[in-house]
Amino acid sequence: MTKIIDKLDTLRKNAGFKKYLKNTSWLFGGNLVNIFASLFVGVWVARYLGPENLGILSYAQSFTALFLAFSTLGLTRILARDLVKDPNDKYVLLGTSFILQTIGSIILMALLLTTLFLTSDDKFLNKIIIILGSVTFVQSFSVIDVYFQSIVKSKSMVLVGVISLIISSLLKVILILLEAPLIHFVYVTAIDSITLAIGQIYFYKKNKESILKWSFSLSKAKQLLRDSWPLILSTIIVSIYMKIDQVMLKEMINNQAVGQYAAAARLSESWYFIPSIISSSLFPAIVNAKKINEDLYYDRIQNLYDLMVWLSVAIALPMTFLSNWIVNLLYGSEYYQAGTVLSIHIWAGVFVFLGVSRGGWIINENLQRFSSLYLGIGMIANVVLNYILIPINGVIGAAIATLASQSISVLFAPFFFKQTRICTYMMLKSLFFVSLFKKIKS
């Protein structure tokens, strides 16, 4: 007990630990606000829209997400890595990434318009998809968020997110009270992104920086794209196997099935911010650990995996047993299928938590090409399983397909590649609580 107290006291006095803890705390706080807003306002919107309209909106969001990789170009983690490694080059990195993502948004819109022209005659649905796609242009300013993450000062970006969320939530409540049509809720999405971008620029300037200092470098663009192209492919694959279920449900059943599934998926996926925040906040520490000692580097990664399993299981267990009660309480009896979907879908979070936390190691080792390979395996598994299970089990089949494909992509596929096999071993140690048993034994 004395050793534990001494260790905690040492950590409390450690400047680096305090810095990362403060940063992570702000990120967690901001996302907790987001969760509460989703529970109150998001659920209220879902109840107001009903399964049919929620299905239309969710389908449009999922369809747009299939092309989202062309907007971000997989640059987020690469930019974060390079800003940590070479902070003196920040203006070139930020400017080049911003221009590349803007070009990516143009590509996204071109693909969206072409696809809609060739496949859809639903003018109302097409209008929603085009609005959602146009939002990606202002989202290029998210490079500012990456910059604040790289210097472990996320407080400003959390405040921006909270302010934007409050404005968005108030507008949605007003729309519900006015009994506004679905399209007005889509406009709020665009306003939300614009507000977020304005806030990011404001706090960047307040930090005594200026976007006018940003510059574009063709050689840097080539280097960023060379490192990020496997992540572009990975993001495309992730988008497909995270969102294809809702697209296939609409095509194979109807909009109401999409609404039932989307209601459950939103509750399940609302927890996915946790691994993203922890991994983003600790990514600089993991990168620096490799410079110090290889054993320290892998110890930190193993500890991160252990934490991810503990957190994800702690969420999944109670949600499994309370799923029907939670859905009925929040959404009402209209969403009668969502409870069963939630009890299955929530366990996909275990593999999502592990997969997200592994992302920093993948980038730091420059193994993005392998990530694309096993993500591709997971995507194919998801499409095939959806095709087989949706006609048999409907929305429940889609949930089973998601869980199975996540486990294949994150845990089993990396085993078949020598360079990433260590991931499977480390994750299995976490899943079987090896570290816990060792501590109990000692």
Would you state the pLDDT for residue 105? 86
- What are the backbone dihedrals phi and psi of residue 394, each rounded to the nearest 5 degrees, phi first? 65, -135
Q: Distance between CA atoms of 8 and 14, rounded to whole angstroms? A: 10
> Which has the closest alpha carbon to 23: 144, 207, 196, 158?
158
* Cβ 301 vs Cβ 286: under 8 Å: yes
Q: What angle do CA 293, 75, 154 make, to 5 degrees?
A: 70
| Strand intervals (E) in 140-278 | none
Q: Distance between CA atoms of 110 and 284, rounded to whole angstroms? A: 36
* Cβ 225 vs Cβ 97: under 8 Å: no
| Identity of the amino acid at 323 | S
Burial of residue 29 (number of CB atoms within 10 Å: 0-12, 13-18, 19+): middle
Q: Distance between CA atoms of 100 and 84, rounded to whole angstroms? A: 20
For residue 417, give the DSSP letter. Answer: S
Domain ranges of the chain: 11-441
pTM: 0.73
For residue 216, give the DSSP letter. Answer: -
Would you state the pLDDT for residue 3? 46
* Cβ 351 vs Cβ 381: under 8 Å: no
Helices (H), 253-293: 255-269, 273-292
pLDDT profile of the chain (442 residues), mean per 10: 48 52 61 69 87 88 78 76 80 87 87 83 85 85 81 73 84 92 90 87 84 87 80 74 85 89 88 81 75 79 89 93 92 90 94 87 79 83 93 93 92 86 87 74 62
Would you state the pLDDT for residue 322? 93
List b or e across 417-430, with b for residues whose CB sees 16 or more CB atoms inside 10 angstroms.
beebeebbebbebb
